[in-house]
Amino acid sequence: MQQRAKILTIQLYRLRPGDVGIKNIPAVGEDDLASAKKATADALTNYFNDSNRPGPSKPHHARLLDEDGSVIAEFDMRPGGVHETPVRVP
């Protein structure tokens, strides 16, 4: 029996999810957690550095979500680049 691939989602936002109008991005083809985390950090960097996006619509945070919507990893844009932050448990 073949195991079903995990569905991971990248969520980008400024203050709270959905506030900059960027739709969730499927982390397709990321076969391990390290690759999925790198894809999340790269997406945050690319959207933040997009010169066509006005300042208020640039994301400062990213989350990597599992198929149940639970947060696997969180990232913040800081001086010097993207940094992974500890996942906050509610």
Domain membership of residue 16 as a residue range: 9-85
Tokens at 71, concatenated:
């947060």
Tokens at 52, concatenated:
């066509």
79 domain residue, yes or no: yes
90 domain residue, yes or no: no
2 domain residue, yes or no: no
57 domain residue, yes or no: yes
4 domain residue, yes or no: no
41 domain residue, yes or no: yes
Q: Which of 21, 9, 12, 10 is nearest to 77 (CA)?
A: 12
1 domain residue, yes or no: no
Tokens at 40, concatenated:
């999340």
Q: Which of 72, 76, 77 is nearest to 27 (CA)?
A: 72
User: Measured on CA atoms in the order 34, 38, 44, 47, is the torsion positive or negative?
Assistant: negative
CA dist., res. 61 & res. 64, Å (int): 10
Q: Which of 57, 52, 59 is nearest to 76 (CA)?
A: 59
pLDDT in tens, the chain (90 residues): 445 557 899 999 999 999 999 999 998 766 788 999 999 999 999 999 999 999 999 999 999 999 899 999 999 999 999 999 998 776
Model pLDDT, residue 30: 67
State how many domains the chain has: 1
3 domain residue, yes or no: no
